[in-house]
């Protein structure tokens, strides 16, 4: 069990209040585990999530990005890929005014999670072949206005492998959005630095009116993660071809 020592309050580099905690290495625990635990305990976003009743610190990433870009609007239909533990779905439901009578948010994850008012949760691996249709069925056959993805592959400890696996998740999320978004819709997804270069970035620029890379303050500075926000979906290729012919 961790032994805490020291303490007191302070502020981090962004001015957020932090309750300082020092963790001693317990017998049988690696020093790397102790460093991780101390970082978690001293993380202002972890502390705020606990204080404000949010499910995880990642909730603040969506809050910060939406406060800046304002992509979640009343009445929008939302798909949240890899939604566990539910922080993003919870915020999305509040901001689009989703409720149990008219659920507008659908989340999917193979990890279990507690119910969220106004959110339909599918206990399912998004990579399964039947997952996309299940998501659309859960939206009542309607097309989503925005697809959110904070998916990241379980880490193996091998940086190159972890990077490639997360890039793959970004690619399948982008493909789902391309095949199912309503025209004019938006796509927001986690990527690793370098994960939207070359072919994928070219495809996003072709399919959307504008592309923005963003790293919200809640994303740890040392993390290679960032987010790509694509808005103004131009429609599926066949629809664009029909429009051009007309």
Which residues make up each annotated binding site? 86, 88, 109, 125, 150
**Binding site residues for S-adenosyl-L-methionine, as ranges?**
86, 88, 109, 125, 150
Contact 207, 234 (CB under 8 A): yes
Rounded Cα–Cα distance for residues 241 and 235 (Å):
10
Is 176 buried (19+), middle (13-18) or exposed (0-12) by CB count in 10 A? buried
Catalytic one of 3, 24, 61, 190: 190
Continuous segment of H or E residues that includes residue 162: helix 159-180
| Rounded distance between C-alpha atoms, residue 10 and residue 17, angstroms | 6
The CB density around residue 62, as the number of other CB atoms within 10 Å, is 25
- Please say if 190 is a catalytic residue: yes
Annotated catalytic sites, by residue?
Answer: 190
């Amino acid at each position: 069990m961790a032994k805490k020592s020291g303490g007191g309050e302070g502020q981090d580099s962004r001015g957020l209040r932090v309750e300082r905690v020092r963790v001693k290495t317990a017998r049988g625990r690696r020093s790397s585990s102790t460093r991780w635990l101390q970082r978690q305990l001293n993380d202002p976003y972890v502390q705020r999530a606990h204080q404000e009743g949010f499910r995880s610190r990642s909730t603040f990433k969506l809050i910060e990005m939406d406060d800046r870009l304002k992509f979640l609007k009343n009445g929008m239909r939302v798909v949240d890929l890899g939604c566990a533990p539910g922080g993003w779905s919870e915020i999305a439901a509040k901001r689009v005014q989703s409720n149990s009578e008219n659920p507008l948010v659908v989340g999917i994850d193979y990890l279990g999670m507690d119910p969220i008012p106004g959110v339909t949760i599918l206990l399912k691996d998004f990579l399964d072949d039947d997952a996309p249709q299940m998501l659309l069925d859960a939206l009542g056959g309607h097309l989503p206005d925005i697809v959110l993805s904070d998916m990241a592959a379980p880490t193996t400890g091998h940086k190159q492998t972890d990077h490639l696996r997360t890039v793959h998740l970004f690619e399948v999320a982008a493909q789902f959005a391309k095949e199912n978004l309503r025209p004019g819709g938006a796509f927001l997804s986690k990527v690793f630095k370098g994960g939207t270069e070359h072919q994928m970035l070219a495809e996003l620029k072709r399919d959307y009116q504008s592309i923005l890379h963003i790293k919200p303050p809640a994303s740890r500075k040392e993390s290679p993660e960032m987010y790509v926000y694509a808005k103004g979906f131009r429609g599926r290729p066949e629809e664009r071809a029909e429009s051009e012919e007309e």
